[in-house]
Each structure stands twice: as C-alpha cells, then as structure tokens.
C-alpha cells in the first residue's frame, strides 16, 4: 500500500451491504481502506467487516465505544474477533469521554484478544471532539486533555479535526496517530460538519489518516472523486 492510499479512508456511510459492495467495487484499485460506522454496522453487523477483509481491504471500525469499562472491554474483544483469512480490523474508535479506567480496560482487552486470536492488534484511537460540533474557545483545551488521557491509557492516538491536529502533533510527537474526519476536497460543501478542512491542510497540520465520506459516496462518479482527493494528498506530500 503506497503512502497516498494509506492516508485516505473512505467512509461507507450507506444503508445496506449491497450499497457498500457497489461502492467498494467502484473504488477497487483506488482505495484500500474503508470505514464501517454505526449505520452500516447496525444494518448488517460484522458481515460488512468480513466482506471487506475477504476483498483484501483494510477496515476502520468506527463504533465510538463508550460505556462502563467491562462492557467496553467485551466490545473490544468482540471487535478483534471479527476476522477473515487470518486478518482483522486495522483500527477502532472509542470515546475519550469515557474515563481512564474504561480506556485502559479497552486497550488491555484488545491486546489480550489479539494474542489469543493470532491477529495483529488494531490501532485504538479516541474520539476527542466531534467535527460536527461548532467551534468554541475551549475546544483546543478539551482536545489536548482528551488526547493526553488516551495516551496515558495506552491508546495509539486520537480522532480530531485538522484544526487541532497541529497542537496534538506538537504535544505528543510523530508516533501518536491522528485520524481526521470532516475532510472536504477543494470546492466541496461542508454539509453538517462545522470544522472541515481540505486534504492538503490536514496533512500540513500533521494528520495521518483522512476520512472522507459524502464527497466520494454521493459523487456521480465515486472513482473520479477519490482520484481527485488522492491527487490533492499526493501534491501535499511533495
């Protein structure tokens, strides 16, 4: 997987597995990593993940686990157990609004289950502040506090707006993973996202993975839309 493809994640925010399959086929050879979120997972469960794994794709499971520590630990163990052909999910989200005990329990469960199952442990990233939340003066402080909690708990990184990515990168170093949703290519509408950014700006601010949904999913030609985003990413990496 080359550097540009590794940075783009397309969100399969669709209602059915058939729609997801159609989109994956349209993007075959262009996009390698896909996000399975609440909508698709609620509609068809682990089969969406297994389908992607069978197709040789990487899976970002974005279910934003947030509950009591024991429940979240069990959910993480179950997520790690969604495998196909000896492969499992690449990355998974939890809410940093959960306390340190919850995040630590999740990290421990993921490590233990990966050893038992014999798959690579997925990256664990904590949601800091949703990109649909309007900008407030205290958002940078909240993001850094929640990122610090994630790091203390042994997580790999966070999900954060590009607007806070530079702060996170400066505070936590180059190995702390930053996933940025709300990515909109040049000229795209923001939709219900309040804190959006272009691929070039996100990369400049230090984001590792860029999550793109509607600009690709709803495009008349998803393949062309994805290629344009990859072009912007490639130019930003030069």
pLDDT in the model for residue 192: 44
Q: Is 64 a catalytic residue?
A: yes
pLDDT digit string, tens, across residues 147-175: 999 999 999 999 998 889 999 999 999 99
pLDDT in the model for residue 133: 61
Q: Do 209 and 157 form a contact (C-beta atoms < 8 A)?
A: no
pLDDT in the model for residue 191: 53
pLDDT confidence band for 138 (50 / 70 / 90) = confident
- What percent of the chain is predicted at pLDDT more than 70? 90
pLDDT in the model for residue 3: 54
Q: Give the mean pLDDT of 33-58.
A: 98
Domain ranges of the chain: 3-237
pLDDT digit string, tens, across residues 177-212: 999 998 988 655 545 445 578 999 999 999 999 999
Q: What burial class does residue 116 get, using C-beta atoms within 10 Å of its C-beta: 0-12 exposed, 13-18 middle, 19+ buried? A: exposed
Task: State the architecture of 3-237 in CATH terms.
Answer: Alpha-Beta Barrel (3.20)
pLDDT digit string, tens, across residues 126-137: 999 876 665 567
pLDDT in the model for residue 162: 87
pLDDT in the model for residue 143: 93
Q: Give alpha helix (H) positions in 153-221.
A: 162-172, 199-204, 214-217
Select the more confidently predicted residue: 191 or 144. Answer: 144
pLDDT digit string, tens, across residues 88-120: 999 999 999 999 999 999 999 999 999 999 999
Select the more confidently predicted residue: 139 or 91. Answer: 91
Q: Give the mean pLDDT of 68-78.
A: 98
Cα separation, 121 vs 90, in Å, equals 8
- Residue 190 is given by DSSP the state -
Query: Longest Cα pair distance anywhere in the chain, in angstroms?
Result: 47
Choice among 5, 22, 57, 64 that is catalytic: 64
Q: What average pLDDT does the chain have?
A: 91
Q: What burial class does residue 130 get, using C-beta atoms within 10 Å of its C-beta: 0-12 exposed, 13-18 middle, 19+ buried? A: middle
User: Does residue 4 carry a pLDDT above 60?
Assistant: no
Its pTM stands at 0.92
92 pairs with which residues across the strands? 61, 124
């Amino acid at each position: 997987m080359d550097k540009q493809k590794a940075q783009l994640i397309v969100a399969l925010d669709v209602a059915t597995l058939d729609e997801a399959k159609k989109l994956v086929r349209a993007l075959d050879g262009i996009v390698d990593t896909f996000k399975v979120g609440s909508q698709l997972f609620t509609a068809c469960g682990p089969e969406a993940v297994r389908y992607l794994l069978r197709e040789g794709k990487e899976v970002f499971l974005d279910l934003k686990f947030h509950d009591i520590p024991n429940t979240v630990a069990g959910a993480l163990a179950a997520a790690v157990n969604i495998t196909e052909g000896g492969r499992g999910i690449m990355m998974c989200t939890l809410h940093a609004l959960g306390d340190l005990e919850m995040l630590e329990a999740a990290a421990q469960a993921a490590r233990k289950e990966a050893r038992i199952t014999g798959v690579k442990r997925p990256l664990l990233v904590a949601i800091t502040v949703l990109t649909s939340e309007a900008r407030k003066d205290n958002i940078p402080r909240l993001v850094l506090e929640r990122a610090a909690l994630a790091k203390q708990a042994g997580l790999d990184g966070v999900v954060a707006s590009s607007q806070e990515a530079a702060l996170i990168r400066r505070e936590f170093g180059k190995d702390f993973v930053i996933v940025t949703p709300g990515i909109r290519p040049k000229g795209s509408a923001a939709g219900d996202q309040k804190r959006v950014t272009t691929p070039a700006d996100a990369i400049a601010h230090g984001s590792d993975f860029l999550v793109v949904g509607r600009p690709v999913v709803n495009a008349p030609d998803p393949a062309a839309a994805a290629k344009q985003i990859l072009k912007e990413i490639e130019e930003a990496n030069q």
